Amino acid sequence: MTEVIIGSRESKLAVLQSEMVKSYIEQKNREKNAGSEITVNILTMKTTGDIILDRTLDKVGGKGLFVKELDRALLDGKSNLSVHSLKDMPMEVPEELPLLAFSKREDPRDVLVLPEGVAELDPDKPLGCSSLRRTLQLKKLYPEMEVKSIRGNLQTRLRKLDEGEYSGLILAAAGLKRLGLENRISRYFTPDEMIPSAGQGILAVQGRKGEDYGYLDGYCDRDAWLAGTAERAYVKYLDGGCSSPVAAFAEVGGDEIFIRGLYYSEATGKWLTGQIRGAAEDGEKLGTALAKQLKSDCEGR
């Protein structure tokens, strides 16, 4: 009997996402019918990012706050793998804890969610959003609206919205759809209107170097891997995390990749978007090239 322990944040969405990977491993094992039983359990834990909710992420340490405890559990052998939303992962991943696979991508778009029973935005209440990337692009889409930070898990944010604190929320379609809350979506933003966060809609499975992960064979989605690594290369070049509003979104069609990017210059207050197209296998190089170009254009170098 082999036991596989999946490390997960304890939010409802995080556990659901870990259960999706758990189901895959169990189904794969049944299909193989190799005689060796695999049991899969989920180990949940509260991360620092889930505890500190009174400040924006850029003020308290960025994306790393959502993975620190899960990384420690992996290193200590308390878990065999971790499941993350790729968009929450730092760009630097420890060599001893490699990314093993990316899931097929769920809807990557950002969406507008209104209070229950409400048909349009109330201009006297702020829009709630959790990232500088969204805030920047919202000011172009809704120049007359105030944008206010909101933290907490999805259920907490929706409760604050429905209690009247906000006129609307900007959220990721992926999380709402996975939780069966698609009916709450009032408007989808196209990637041209609002470039998504790098990795949005993709689940990342992280493991420990030197371990056998044969039970994950076939899980990794080729297009998601190519798109996700291209987006992360873009952000990594710009040293972007939660503290700087950068965005990257790649679409793979056969052997071609199309990447959109957003860059903001703190020095000038200017921001630009751009795009690049090329061979899918060159995604990382193209992501870096686009980042380099936009930074140069924005800072006049």
pLDDT in tens, 2-48: 899 999 988 899 999 999 999 999 998 888 765 568 899 999 987 65
Tell me the CATH architecture of domain 221-301: 2-Layer Sandwich (3.30)
Work out the widest C-alpha separation in the chain, in whole angstroms: 63
Locate the domains of the chain by residue range. 1-103+202-219, 110-188, 221-301
Banded model confidence at residue 236, pLDDT cuts 50, 70, 90? very high
Listed ranges 64-78, 96-110, 152-166, 255-269; the one with the highest mean pLDDT: 96-110
Decide if 1-103+202-219 and 110-188 have a common fold: yes
| Ranges assigned E (strand) in 23-149 | 38-45, 81-85, 99-102, 110-113, 127-129, 147-149
Q: State pLDDT tens for residues 270-284.
A: 899 999 999 999 999
Which amino acid is present at 268?
Answer: T
Q: State pLDDT tens for residues 178-204.
A: 999 999 999 999 999 999 999 999 999
| Per-residue model confidence (pLDDT) at position 65 | 57
pLDDT at 60 over 50: no
Give 1-103+202-219's CATH code, choosing from 3.40.50.300, 2.40.160.210, 3.40.1190.20, 3.40.190.10. 3.40.190.10
pLDDT at 67 over 90: no
Catalytic residues: 88
Fold for the domain defined by 110-188: D-Maltodextrin-Binding Protein; domain 2 (3.40.190)
- Dihedral, 152, 158, 161, 167 alpha carbons, nearest 10: 100
